[in-house]
């Protein structure tokens, strides 16, 4: 027997199953809900699902970068709140008329400034944490756990305890508007996911993210700027959390310090269900989008069937563990 | 001939541990030097200093007569020093081709936006593997590869540029007899191209087969450095274990 024959890999069924487990399960859920509850497949309901998950999805796209580097960001929910408040503050041009509606609400700064402010605040939060992780070498879990409480505290101080609400129509459009019937947040999510997919799959920076998560010591020896790649991943998740915070305030027509509470759990669940390994180096934006939509479909379908939200939480938890279990089996088989 | 690489008084301390101590060493172009020693003798440490993984605590490093200070491995690479690491420094989650080009990717694009040219990298990696007579598929994940194939991936990296010095840290430890022959053949081809090669190995037969000279480290100190013709496997073994004090 030649080494060529020995070297040929046999078909890795468990690996294949793991790779397509999330899309297959999503398909299964869609069919199941469609059969059990005809309203589920109504185009308006489907749009509604996408609209509901798009804000979480934006953050999940950023989280994918971080988890691919073998990191984690627990602070995203707090960043969403802080950035949303700052964006609202800038849109209003101050806190004097924090509840103003109608003509008064139209006063203040252009919406684009609010967007930029929210995104900048998010990116700054990410940069601070990224610097602590790459320069001070504090583990990401600890740094972002600190960020989770610190940024929430900042948001509470900044808001002075109350919400900022009643924005101009141009502001609210970002959360409630539609283009050809498609909600604006869905379009933003789709665009961001598409760009992120291209970056991760086709660019050198994307390769550096995968390499850093796969084997950071080896990557560094080969000249990959692992610190820059890691730092950038936290800036990206911060930036997208900032954008998500802005869109959330636009959708609710209100920015609050308690926005995005426990968002990190949903986001990490979506990314992991989508097949991205918490050990880094393996995963994709496609998987994350599937994970995000899967959580949305599950919630929506269960609501339509009058299943309590408590049961929903149990099911999402179970699916999360199951997803990782399938992944581990596949990893064991490969090694 | 003038040496391409010269070390003078190189010492490296890791906290309280003195991994290598006062090493003087030189290699000429087209010369193959075997570096031998027991586990923990300091072989890898010495080569990592030459390859820019870390700086020496004291001592100087000269390439073609010019003093160099490498701050990172890519600095050394730019000066023509390539190293195949003992653990091969591979990313299991990437393909063979991407591993070969890691840190030196072929890209296209504009400004800071660099897109990977996977096709070119794949093709070039395929050529390199063929040159090494290795049945390694460029598009396959390194995770699924045999020890010899992984070795080929790591060695192929040294062929991307026109190096002056190639350091091989235990390149024959994990591979089959046939593949050992290929690696030794590759070392001869590097030598014929005028490249200086430092070969770390525990296997005396390999060293005596390809090396012009053998240097022995014991507990961080160089205890021998002589042409292979002037020594024997028995003497080298004695030097490694300490049965022979100095030669
Ligand atoms: N990064 C490091 N930090 C601390 N100590 C180190 C480090 N690298 C090496 N050492 C120590 O330096 C000494 C020499 O190690 P080195 O890896 O150079 O040995 P070696 O000759 O390559 O051994 P082997 O044959 O096992 O590969 C050992 O005592 C080792 O523990
Ligand atoms: Mg070693």
Q: How far apart are CA B126 and CA A311, in angstroms?
A: 53
Q: If you search the block for the tokens 């800071």, which residue do you land on?
A: B112
CA distance A7 to chain B (A): 8
Please identify, in words, the CATH class of the domain defined by B5-89+147-241. Answer: alpha beta
Q: Which two tokens stand for residue A160?
A: 């002075």
Identify the three-state secondary structure at position B53. coil
From the centroid of its chain, how far is CA A48? 18
Nearest 5°: the CA angle B216, B218, B222 is: 55
Q: Categorize the per-residue pLDDT at A14 as very low, low, confident or very high, splitting at 50, 70 and 90.
A: low
CA distance A242 to chain B (A): 23
Q: Of A205, A214, A217, which has the smallest distance from its Cβ to B92's Cβ?
A: A214
Contact (Cβ atoms closer than 8 angstroms) between residue A154 and residue A82: yes
Q: If you search the block for the tokens 């590869």, which residue do you land on?
A: B145
Count of CB atoms situated within 10 Å of the CB of B51? 25
In this complex, is the C-beta atom of A4 within 8 Å of any C-beta atom belonging to chain B?
A: yes
Which of A119, A112, A225 has the alpha carbon at shortest distance from A173? A112
Q: Which two tokens stand for residue A237?
A: 């998740």
What b/e sequence results for A83-99 when a residue is b if at least 16 CB atoms lie within 10 Å of its CB, and e otherwise? bbbbbbbbbbeeeeebe
Identify the three-state secondary structure at position B225. strand
Q: How far apart are CA B91 and CA B99, in angstroms?
A: 7
Q: How far apart are CA A329 and CA A15, in angstroms?
A: 8
Q: Which two tokens stand for residue B142?
A: 């390194």
Q: Exposed, middle or buried by CB within 10 Å (0-12, 13-18, 19+), for B154?
A: buried
Whether residue A223 and residue B113 make contact (CB cut-off 8 A), yes or no, is no
Distance between Cα B169 and ligand 1 center (Å): 12
Q: In what order do the strands lie in the sheet with B221-227?
A: B81-84, B165-169, B196-200, B32-37, B213-218, B221-227
Complex confidence, ipTM = 0.90
**Local confidence pLDDT in tens for the 247 residues of chain B:** 789 999 999 999 999 999 999 999 999 999 999 999 999 999 999 999 999 999 999 999 999 999 999 999 999 999 999 999 999 999 999 999 999 999 999 999 988 899 999 999 999 999 999 988 888 999 999 998 888 889 889 999 999 988 999 999 998 877 778 778 888 988 998 899 899 999 999 889 999 999 999 999 999 999 999 999 999 999 999 999 988 888 7
Q: How far apart are CA A312 and CA A309, in angstroms?
A: 5
A18 pLDDT exceeds 50?
Answer: yes
**For A188-238, how does the pLDDT look when each residue is reduced to its tens digit (9 = 90+)?**
999 999 999 999 999 999 999 999 999 999 999 999 999 999 999 999 999
Contacts with A206 (C-beta within 8 Å, 6 or more apart), sequence order = A199, A200, B116
Q: How far apart are CA A84 and CA A69, in angstroms?
A: 27
Contact (Cβ atoms closer than 8 angstroms) between residue A250 and residue A171: yes
What is the helix, strand, coil percentage profile of chain B, to 5? 35, 30, 35
Count of CB atoms situated within 10 Å of the CB of B193? 11
Mutant choice from B53, B87, B93 vs A, greatest count of A C-beta within 10 A:
B93
Rg (C-alpha) for chain A, rounded Å, is 21
Q: Categorize the per-residue pLDDT at A20 as very low, low, confident or very high, splitting at 50, 70 and 90.
A: confident
Contact (Cβ atoms closer than 8 angstroms) between residue A250 and residue A90: no
Q: How far apart are CA A227 and CA A229, in angstroms?
A: 5
| Per-residue pLDDT at A101 | 59
Contact (Cβ atoms closer than 8 angstroms) between residue A174 and residue A42: no
Q: Categorize the per-residue pLDDT at A331 as very low, low, confident or very high, splitting at 50, 70 and 90.
A: low
Q: Which atom of ligand 1 is nearest to the CA of B37?
A: 21
> Measured between beta carbons, which residues in chain A are less than 8 angstroms from residue B144?
9, 334
Could you please state the CATH topology (level 3) that the domain comprising A42-334 is classified under.
ABC transporter involved in vitamin B12 uptake, BtuC (1.10.3470)
**For B105-131, how does the pLDDT look when each residue is reduced to its tens digit (9 = 90+)?**
999 998 889 999 999 999 999 999 998
Give domain limits for chain A: 42-334
Q: Of B77, B91, B114, which has the smallest distance from its Cβ to A211's Cβ?
A: B91
Pairing label, strands B107-110, B81-84? unpaired
Q: Of B74, B85, B93, which has the smallest distance from its Cβ to A210's Cβ?
A: B93
Percentage of chain A exceeding pLDDT 70: 90
Q: Which two tokens stand for residue A34?
A: 């469609």
A260 pLDDT exceeds 80?
Answer: yes
Handedness of CA A234, A237, A243, A244 (dihedral sign): negative
Q: How far apart are CA B187 and CA A230, in angstroms?
A: 37
Q: How many residues does chain B have?
A: 247
Identify the three-state secondary structure at position A227. helix
Max alpha carbon distance in chain A (Å)? 83
From the centroid of its chain, how far is CA B191? 13
Q: Which two tokens stand for residue A278?
A: 């918490």
């Amino acid at each position: 027997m030649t080494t060529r024959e020995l070297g040929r890999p046999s078909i890795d069924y468990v690996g294949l199953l793991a790779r397509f487990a999330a899309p297959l399960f999503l398909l299964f859920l869609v069919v199941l809900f469609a059969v059990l509850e005809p309203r589920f497949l109504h185009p308006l309901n489907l749009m509604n699902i996408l609209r509901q998950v798009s804000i979480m999805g934006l953050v999940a796209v950023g989280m994918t970068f971080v988890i691919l580097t073998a990191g984690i960001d627990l602070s995203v929910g707090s960043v969403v709140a802080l950035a949303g408040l700052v964006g609202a503050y800038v849109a209003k041009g101050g806190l004097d008329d924090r509840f103003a509606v109608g003509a008064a609400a139209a006063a203040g700064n252009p919406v684009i400034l609010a967007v930029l402010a929210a995104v900048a605040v998010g990116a700054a939060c990410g940069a601070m944490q990224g610097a602590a992780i790459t320069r001070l070498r504090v583990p990401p879990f600890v740094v972002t756990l600190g960020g989770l409480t610190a940024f929430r505290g900042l948001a509470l101080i900044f808001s002075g305890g109350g919400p900022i609400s009643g924005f101009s129509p141009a502001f609210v459009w970002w959360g409630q508007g539609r283009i050809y019937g498609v909600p604006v947040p869905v379009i933003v999510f789709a665009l961001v996911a598409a760009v992120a997919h291209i970056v991760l799959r086709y660019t050198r920076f994307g390769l550096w993210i995968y390499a850093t998560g796969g084997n950071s010591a080896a990557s560094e020896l080969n000249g990959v700027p692992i610190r820059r790649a890691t730092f950038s991943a936290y800036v990206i998740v911060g930036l997208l959390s900032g954008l998500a915070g802005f869109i959330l305030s636009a959708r609710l027509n209100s920015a609050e310090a308690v926005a995005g509470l426990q968002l990190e759990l949903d986001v990490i669940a979506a990314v992991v269900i989508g097949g991205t390994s918490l050990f880094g180096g393996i995963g994709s934006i496609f998987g994350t989008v599937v994970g995000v939509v899967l959580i949305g479909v599950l919630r929506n379908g269960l609501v339509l069937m009058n299943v309590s939200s408590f049961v929903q939480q149990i099911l999402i938890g179970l699916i999360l563990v199951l997803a990782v279990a399938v992944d581990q089996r596949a990893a064991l088989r490969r090694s | 001939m003038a040496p391409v690489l010269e070390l003078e008084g190189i010492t490296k301390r890791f906290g309280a541990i003195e991994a290598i101590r006062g090493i003087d060493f030189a290699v000429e172009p087209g010369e193959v030097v075997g570096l031998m020693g027991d586990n923990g003798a300091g072989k890898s440490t010495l080569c990592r200093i030459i390859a820019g993984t870390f700086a020496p605590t004291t001592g100087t490093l000269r390439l073609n007569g010019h003093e160099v200070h490498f701050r990172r491995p890519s600095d050394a690479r730019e000066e023509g020093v390539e190293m195949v690491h003992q653990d091969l420094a591979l990313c299991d989650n990437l393909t063979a081709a991407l591993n070969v080009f890691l840190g030196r990717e072929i890209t296209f694009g504009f400004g800071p936006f660099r897109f990977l040219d996977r096709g070119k990298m794949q093709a070039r990696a395929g050529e390199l593997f063929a040159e090494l007579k290795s049945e390694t598929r460029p598009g396959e994940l390194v995770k699924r590869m045999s020890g010899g194939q992984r070795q080929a991936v790591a060695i192929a990296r040294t062929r991307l540029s026109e190096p002056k010095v190639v350091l091989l840290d235990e390149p024959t430890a994990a591979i089959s007899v046939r593949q050992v022959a290929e690696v030794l053949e590759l070392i001869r081809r590097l030598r014929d191209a005028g490249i200086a090669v430092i070969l770390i190995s525990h296997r005396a037969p390999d060293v005596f087969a390809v090396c012009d000279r053998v240097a022995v480290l014991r507990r961080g100190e160089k205890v021998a450095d002589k042409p292979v013709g002037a020594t024997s496997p028995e003497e080298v073994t004695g030097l490694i274990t300490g049965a022979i004090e100095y030669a």
